[in-house]
Amino acid sequence: MSTIVEVAKRAGVSVGTVSNVIRGNPRVGREFRERVEAAIRELDYHPNEIARSLKVNQTYMLGMVLPDITNPFFPEIIRGAEDQALQRRYLLVTANTDEHIERERSIVSALRSRRVDGLLLASAPGKDSSHIRRVMDAGTSVVCLDRAPAGIKVDTVLLDNVRGAEDCVRHLLRVGYRKIAIITGPLELQHARERLRGYENALHEVGIKVSEELILEGDFREESGHRLGKELLLRRVRPSAIFVCNGVMTLGVLQAFEELGVRYPEDVALATFDDLAGDRSFYPRLTVVAQPGYEIGARAATLLMDRIENKFSGKAVTIRMAPTLIVRESTRGSAVEPSRPRTHTPLSV
């Protein structure tokens, strides 16, 4: 195995220059950098990162802990974070909690033991954030994304969930739907509660009383979407529209539509949070609240690395990213219940 001394000799530079090139120090001149990089390739040199991390007390590793990597939303977050990390020579290590807080605690502990420089965390449901506080108290930087943990001040990158839900339900109201059902995520999660609040806000704006019968709580998993979707579609009096609070549950709702022979939007309109990979495989195409997953991941990783490298200091910050409403055929307003008033207060979005 080649050594850093051999690389320096082959490139005709000092060991310190080789070390600076490996660390990405911008002060190394182009000619020297190219010579060192050529020598590294020729000798197939691989730095001993363990030894180097012990010397400089930095591993250049970031941990990312997510609740469900099978959810199409999270791979976009991973990609955004990974691209930013690689640009700054960090390695991103990803783990999945399956929405279990005990598993999250175990994973966070394991990543701490492996001396990651920082953590990106979308926390599982639970009111106890003591494990996050311990990580921060030990000097490890943490940025939470998509979900804000309870009872702790930490850097967080979130979506404006209230605005996204408001925009979608306002659209449904504007095109004539009045009996609008919602399938929420688990309401112990902040972003699930925020999406419900946006739904309620939009109804209140036009004087429609929120009906508890039209609020069904799911768990952000496909099975709950299927089960609750069937429940709504089998009611004697169906809702005129269904707003589903994430894409994975929407897959279950779509299965319920197919099984029961119910058409959207002819029988019941359908809208969802998440763009389901561009919605190319569904027809009629779905009206969606699109989340900027890539940008959320990139922003969170950049904030984390800036904290690690002391480029950003001060109190914990919360960054909210804007969603985008994309109106498609699934809510074209052709199914209007007879009891709908013929006139109503105009809405603005």
Task: Give exposure, 188-212, as e/b (b: 16+ Cβ within 10 Å).
Answer: ebbbbbbbbebbbbbbeebebeeee
Provide the CATH number for the domain around residue 276: 3.40.50.2300
Are the C-beta atoms of 160 and 320 separated by less than 8 Å?
A: yes
**Does residue 343 fall inside a structural domain?**
no
Query: What does the pLDDT read at residue 325?
Result: 96
**Does residue 344 fall inside a structural domain?**
no
Q: How far apart are CA 150 and CA 188, in angstroms?
A: 10
Q: Do residues 155 and 246 both lie within one domain? A: no
pLDDT in tens, 199-220: 999 999 999 999 999 999 999 9
**Does residue 252 fall inside a structural domain?**
yes
Q: Do residues 85 and 146 both lie within one domain? A: yes
Query: What does the pLDDT read at residue 307?
Result: 93
Query: What does the pLDDT read at residue 54?
Result: 44
Q: Do residues 24 and 138 both lie within one domain? A: no
* Mean pLDDT, range 295-305, rounded to an integer: 96
**Does residue 240 fall inside a structural domain?**
yes
Return the number of other C-beta atoms located less than 10 Å from residue 224's C-beta: 21
**Does residue 339 fall inside a structural domain?**
no
Tokens describing residue 8: 């320096």
- For residue 11, which of 50, 45, 47 has the smallest C-alpha distance? 45
**Does residue 297 fall inside a structural domain?**
yes
Structural domain boundaries enclosing 21: 4-47
Q: How far apart are CA 10 and CA 2, in angstroms?
A: 11
Q: Do residues 173 and 262 both lie within one domain? A: yes
Q: Do residues 174 and 222 both lie within one domain? A: yes
- Look at the chain and report how many structural domains it folds into: 3
H runs (alpha helix) in 44-189 = 49-56, 73-87, 101-113, 130-137, 161-174
Q: Do residues 165 and 261 both lie within one domain? A: yes
Query: What does the pLDDT read at residue 348?
Result: 31
Q: Enter the pTM of the model.
A: 0.76
Look over the chain and give the mean of its residue pLDDT values, rounded to a whole number: 87
Q: Do residues 125 and 216 both lie within one domain? A: no
Query: What does the pLDDT read at residue 135?
Result: 87
Q: Do residues 285 and 165 both lie within one domain? A: yes
Provide the CATH number for the domain around residue 28: 1.10.260.40
Q: Do residues 179 and 138 both lie within one domain? A: no
Q: Do residues 84 and 107 both lie within one domain? A: yes
pLDDT at 38 exceeding the cut of 70: yes
Q: Do residues 63 and 181 both lie within one domain? A: no
Query: What does the pLDDT read at residue 280?
Result: 58
**Does residue 338 fall inside a structural domain?**
no
**Does residue 345 fall inside a structural domain?**
no
Q: Do residues 69 and 216 both lie within one domain? A: no
